[in-house]
Amino acid sequence: MTASRLIVIGHRFCGPPGTGNGGYVCGMLAGMSATPLEVKLLKPVPLDRPLEVREDREQDQLLLLHGDEPVAAGRPKAIELAVPGPPTYAEALAAARDYPGFHGHPFARCFVCGPERERGDGMRVFAGAVAGRDLWAAPWLPDASLAGADGKVAPEFIWAALDCPGYFAIGGYPRMALLGQFAARIDRRVHAGEACVVIGWVTGRDGRKSYAGTAVFDGSGELCARALATWVDLRPAAGPGVESR
């Protein structure tokens, strides 16, 4: 073991009420590693509480703990993922007009996809189906509060943007699923205020598990980031999970 570190998931960055958005949490943990990680979400991640990041060399994993309880674990993994060509920004705007979350959303204040979050507060990544393609897309104008001193969006917010479109691609609400595992690769960080497009698509299904790819494109249509997610359907008798929607 090495010395532990602490992080806090602020209340702004919620998914379900009182818990952290899955993509953001995964991005925060991945940012503590020198190597690419796939993060597994184990428990709901509390907000505004000190969380310990601890390296477990014996198990080759990076743990996120609330007290003594692991809530997430990251293991080394570099993803390779073929990405479909993006729709135009105008096509993404058209798709977003039919965002299912406008008509019903169990967590309407989700930091990433919650329609009740105002501009400058939530990310407002609203994915809708692209006409004529097995693809979901959202326009995204990253707010200045998401950027560092260089004007580029911080990596944890790119991880967050890559989260929710995958959920809607696999079926979306009222289907209840939780984000189980998530791995992202960022080749280039986009700029605040840039007219970006985020896409999501299904890569496979296996019983209660669905697999989704997501990607972020910059204002020139260049691929900047991609991710692979495993979503797990909740059993009918189960309560809300880590990143259920």
- Using CA atoms, how far apart are residues 165 and 92, in angstroms rounded to an integer? 12
Residue 120 shares a structural domain with residue 176: yes
pLDDT of residue 234: 84
* Confidence category of residue 169, pLDDT binned at 50, 70, 90: very high
Residue 20 shares a structural domain with residue 96: no
Bond before 115 cis per omega within 30 degrees: no
Whether 243 has a pLDDT exceeding 50, the answer reads no
Residues 194-223 pLDDT 10s: 999 999 999 999 999 999 999 999 999 999
pLDDT of residue 172: 81
For residue 16, being part of any structural domain is answered with yes
* Confidence category of residue 1, pLDDT binned at 50, 70, 90: very low
Residues 81-115 pLDDT 10s: 999 999 999 999 999 999 999 998 988 999 999 99
Q: How far is CA 76 from CA 34, 40, 108, in A?
A: 10, 11, 33
- Using CA atoms, how far apart are residues 129 and 168, in angstroms rounded to an integer? 9
Q: Read off the pLDDT of each residue in 171-181 and give the average, rounded to a whole number.
A: 87
* Confidence category of residue 245, pLDDT binned at 50, 70, 90: very low
* Domain boundary pick from 48, 76, 104: 76
For residue 142, being part of any structural domain is answered with yes
For residue 239, being part of any structural domain is answered with no
pLDDT of residue 47: 98
pLDDT of residue 239: 43
State the SS3 of the chain: CCCCEEEECCHHHECCCCEECHHHHHHHHHCCCCCCEEEEECCCCECCCEEEEEEECCCCEEEEEECCEEEEEEEECCCCCCCCCCCCHHHHHHHHCCCHHHCCCCCCCCCCCCCCCCECCECCCCCEECCCCCCEEEEECCCHHHECCCCEECHHHHHHHCCHHHHHHHCCCCCCEEEEEEEEEECCCCECCCCEEEEEEEEEEECCEEEEEEEEECCCCCEEEEEEEEEEECCCCCCCCCCCC
Residue 104 shares a structural domain with residue 216: yes
Whether 240 has a pLDDT exceeding 50, the answer reads no
Structural domain range at position 216:
89-233
Provide the CATH number for the domain around residue 184.
3.10.129.10
Please count the other Cβ atoms lying within 10 Å of the Cβ belonging to residue 4: 11
Q: How many domains does the chain have?
A: 2
Please count the other Cβ atoms lying within 10 Å of the Cβ belonging to residue 193: 14
Residue 15 shares a structural domain with residue 36: yes
For residue 201, being part of any structural domain is answered with yes
Q: How far is CA 235 from CA 61, 103, 144, 166, in A?
A: 28, 24, 39, 20
Whether 236 has a pLDDT exceeding 70, the answer reads no
Phi, psi for residue 115 in degrees, rounded to 5: -70, -15
- Using CA atoms, how far apart are residues 26 and 125, in angstroms rounded to an integer? 18
- Using CA atoms, how far apart are residues 50 and 61, in angstroms rounded to an integer? 20
